[in-house]
Amino acid sequence: MDKIISVVFASLIATSSFAASAEPFERVDLDKDRTSVQYAGPIKSITKALEGYRWLGQSKDMNGGVVFEPHVNNSFGKNDTETGGAIIVKATYYLHDEPVKEALMVARQSEISGFVEFYGYESRELQLHIRMVGSDTFQAFSSADQYNKSEKLMTYKKVEKFNKSNYRDQLESAHESGGFF
Protein backbone atom coordinates (compact mmCIF):
# COMPACT_ATOMS: atom_id res chain seq x y z
CA MET A 1 0.00 0.00 0.00
CA ASP A 2 2.84 2.40 0.87
CA LYS A 3 4.45 1.77 -2.52
CA ILE A 4 1.19 2.62 -4.31
CA ILE A 5 0.83 5.85 -2.32
CA SER A 6 4.47 6.71 -3.05
CA VAL A 7 4.01 6.13 -6.78
CA VAL A 8 0.82 8.20 -6.88
CA PHE A 9 2.43 11.01 -4.88
CA ALA A 10 5.54 11.00 -7.12
CA SER A 11 3.43 11.13 -10.27
CA LEU A 12 1.37 14.02 -8.87
CA ILE A 13 4.55 15.95 -8.14
CA ALA A 14 5.93 15.21 -11.61
CA THR A 15 2.65 16.26 -13.24
CA SER A 16 2.41 19.50 -11.26
CA SER A 17 6.02 20.45 -11.96
CA PHE A 18 5.49 19.72 -15.67
CA ALA A 19 2.34 21.84 -15.71
CA ALA A 20 4.18 24.72 -14.03
CA SER A 21 7.11 24.45 -16.41
CA ALA A 22 4.87 24.33 -19.48
CA GLU A 23 3.17 27.61 -18.57
CA PRO A 24 3.80 30.31 -21.17
CA PHE A 25 5.19 33.60 -19.89
CA GLU A 26 4.88 36.91 -21.66
CA ARG A 27 7.41 39.69 -22.01
CA VAL A 28 6.19 43.25 -21.51
CA ASP A 29 7.90 46.31 -22.97
CA LEU A 30 8.83 48.60 -20.08
CA ASP A 31 11.02 51.69 -19.75
CA LYS A 32 14.57 50.50 -19.07
CA ASP A 33 14.96 53.33 -16.54
CA ARG A 34 11.81 52.46 -14.57
CA THR A 35 11.93 52.84 -10.81
CA SER A 36 10.43 50.97 -7.88
CA VAL A 37 8.17 53.91 -7.03
CA GLN A 38 6.19 53.49 -10.25
CA TYR A 39 5.19 49.92 -9.29
CA ALA A 40 5.47 50.13 -5.49
CA GLY A 41 2.26 48.20 -4.70
CA PRO A 42 3.10 44.86 -6.36
CA ILE A 43 6.77 45.17 -5.40
CA LYS A 44 6.08 45.74 -1.70
CA SER A 45 3.63 42.84 -1.56
CA ILE A 46 6.31 40.48 -2.87
CA THR A 47 9.14 41.89 -0.73
CA LYS A 48 6.97 41.58 2.40
CA ALA A 49 6.16 37.96 1.52
CA LEU A 50 9.86 37.12 1.02
CA GLU A 51 11.56 39.01 3.85
CA GLY A 52 12.83 37.19 6.90
CA TYR A 53 12.40 33.63 5.66
CA ARG A 54 14.79 31.00 4.37
CA TRP A 55 14.03 30.02 0.77
CA LEU A 56 15.53 26.72 -0.39
CA GLY A 57 15.97 25.91 -4.08
CA GLN A 58 13.98 22.83 -5.07
CA SER A 59 15.99 21.42 -7.97
CA LYS A 60 18.47 18.57 -7.67
CA ASP A 61 21.38 20.93 -8.52
CA MET A 62 20.58 23.44 -5.76
CA ASN A 63 22.18 22.93 -2.40
CA GLY A 64 21.27 26.24 -0.89
CA GLY A 65 18.98 29.15 -1.01
CA VAL A 66 18.49 32.78 -0.18
CA VAL A 67 17.29 34.99 2.66
CA PHE A 68 15.85 38.43 1.92
CA GLU A 69 15.90 41.17 4.55
CA PRO A 70 14.51 44.69 4.42
CA HIS A 71 16.99 47.47 3.73
CA VAL A 72 16.13 51.02 4.73
CA ASN A 73 16.67 53.36 1.80
CA ASN A 74 16.96 56.80 3.39
CA SER A 75 16.82 58.39 -0.07
CA PHE A 76 13.52 56.75 -1.02
CA GLY A 77 11.12 59.28 -2.54
CA LYS A 78 13.85 61.86 -3.18
CA ASN A 79 13.95 62.23 -6.94
CA ASP A 80 17.25 64.11 -6.93
CA THR A 81 19.24 61.04 -5.81
CA GLU A 82 20.33 57.90 -7.66
CA THR A 83 18.44 55.59 -5.27
CA GLY A 84 15.48 57.91 -4.63
CA GLY A 85 13.07 55.72 -6.55
CA ALA A 86 14.43 52.38 -5.36
CA ILE A 87 12.97 49.79 -3.03
CA ILE A 88 16.05 47.89 -1.83
CA VAL A 89 16.39 44.53 -0.08
CA LYS A 90 19.45 42.71 1.20
CA ALA A 91 19.83 39.19 -0.17
CA THR A 92 22.12 36.66 1.48
CA TYR A 93 22.83 33.60 -0.67
CA TYR A 94 23.68 30.28 0.96
CA LEU A 95 25.45 27.13 -0.13
CA HIS A 96 24.05 24.47 2.16
CA ASP A 97 23.82 26.29 5.50
CA GLU A 98 26.81 28.62 4.94
CA PRO A 99 26.39 32.20 3.68
CA VAL A 100 28.42 32.72 0.49
CA LYS A 101 27.31 36.08 -0.89
CA GLU A 102 25.51 39.13 0.34
CA ALA A 103 24.11 41.76 -2.00
CA LEU A 104 21.90 44.81 -1.93
CA MET A 105 19.24 44.37 -4.58
CA VAL A 106 16.97 46.94 -6.16
CA ALA A 107 13.39 45.80 -6.75
CA ARG A 108 11.42 46.96 -9.78
CA GLN A 109 8.72 45.68 -12.11
CA SER A 110 10.04 42.84 -14.27
CA GLU A 111 9.71 42.67 -18.03
CA ILE A 112 8.26 39.19 -17.45
CA SER A 113 4.55 39.68 -16.84
CA GLY A 114 3.57 38.87 -13.24
CA PHE A 115 7.15 38.94 -11.90
CA VAL A 116 9.18 41.45 -9.87
CA GLU A 117 12.83 41.94 -10.78
CA PHE A 118 15.57 42.11 -8.16
CA TYR A 119 18.93 43.22 -9.52
CA GLY A 120 22.24 43.81 -7.77
CA TYR A 121 22.78 47.41 -6.73
CA GLU A 122 26.49 47.10 -7.48
CA SER A 123 26.15 44.65 -10.37
CA ARG A 124 23.07 44.52 -12.61
CA GLU A 125 24.13 41.08 -13.86
CA LEU A 126 22.96 39.63 -10.53
CA GLN A 127 19.22 39.22 -11.14
CA LEU A 128 16.21 37.32 -9.93
CA HIS A 129 12.79 37.72 -11.51
CA ILE A 130 10.38 36.47 -8.85
CA ARG A 131 6.70 35.67 -8.53
CA MET A 132 4.96 34.24 -5.49
CA VAL A 133 3.11 30.93 -5.87
CA GLY A 134 1.23 30.64 -2.61
CA SER A 135 2.58 31.81 0.72
CA ASP A 136 5.45 29.31 0.96
CA THR A 137 6.75 29.09 -2.63
CA PHE A 138 8.23 31.43 -5.19
CA GLN A 139 9.38 30.87 -8.73
CA ALA A 140 12.23 32.75 -10.37
CA PHE A 141 14.21 33.25 -13.52
CA SER A 142 17.80 34.46 -13.22
CA SER A 143 17.39 36.71 -16.28
CA ALA A 144 14.53 38.38 -18.16
CA ASP A 145 15.80 36.69 -21.32
CA GLN A 146 14.91 33.25 -19.92
CA TYR A 147 11.14 33.75 -19.75
CA ASN A 148 10.57 31.55 -22.81
CA LYS A 149 12.79 28.72 -21.51
CA SER A 150 10.56 26.95 -19.00
CA GLU A 151 13.42 24.64 -17.95
CA LYS A 152 15.18 27.75 -16.53
CA LEU A 153 12.30 28.43 -14.11
CA MET A 154 13.54 27.80 -10.56
CA THR A 155 11.30 27.03 -7.58
CA TYR A 156 12.09 27.95 -3.98
CA LYS A 157 10.23 26.77 -0.87
CA LYS A 158 10.11 28.35 2.57
CA VAL A 159 12.05 26.19 5.06
CA GLU A 160 12.96 26.38 8.74
CA LYS A 161 16.67 25.78 8.05
CA PHE A 162 18.98 25.05 5.16
CA ASN A 163 20.49 21.61 4.60
CA LYS A 164 23.90 20.86 6.02
CA SER A 165 26.62 19.72 3.66
CA ASN A 166 27.00 15.94 3.38
CA TYR A 167 30.76 16.46 3.11
CA ARG A 168 31.30 18.72 6.11
CA ASP A 169 32.69 15.86 8.23
CA GLN A 170 35.16 15.00 5.45
CA LEU A 171 36.64 18.50 5.21
CA GLU A 172 40.04 19.02 6.76
CA SER A 173 41.03 22.16 8.56
CA ALA A 174 43.78 24.29 7.03
CA HIS A 175 46.17 22.96 9.68
CA GLU A 176 45.31 19.30 8.93
CA SER A 177 45.66 19.73 5.16
CA GLY A 178 49.08 21.37 5.46
CA GLY A 179 47.79 24.70 4.16
CA PHE A 180 48.62 26.40 7.47
CA PHE A 181 52.03 26.11 9.07
pLDDT tens figures, 51-62: 999 999 987 666
96-141 pLDDT, tens per residue? Answer: 889 999 999 999 999 999 999 999 998 888 999 999 999 999 999 9
| Residue 117 · residue 109 · CB < 8 Å | yes
Among residues 7, 31, 15, 19, the alpha carbon closest in space to that of 117 is found at 31
Give me the pLDDT at residue 40, please.
Answer: 87
Q: Mark residue 36 as left, alpha or beta (left: phi above 0; alpha: psi -120 to 50; beta: remaining).
A: alpha
In this structure, are strands 137-141 and 87-95 parallel, antiparallel, or unpaired? Answer: unpaired
This prediction's pTM:
0.75
Neighbouring-strand partners of residue 57? 156
31 or 169: which carries more pLDDT confidence?
A: 31
Give me the pLDDT at residue 56, please.
Answer: 93
Q: What is the mean pLDDT of residues 165-179?
A: 55
Give me the pLDDT at residue 102, please.
Answer: 95
160 or 172: which carries more pLDDT confidence?
A: 160
Q: Is the pLDDT at 36 greater than 70, yes or no?
A: yes
Fold that domain 31-163 belongs to in CATH: Lipocalin (2.40.128)
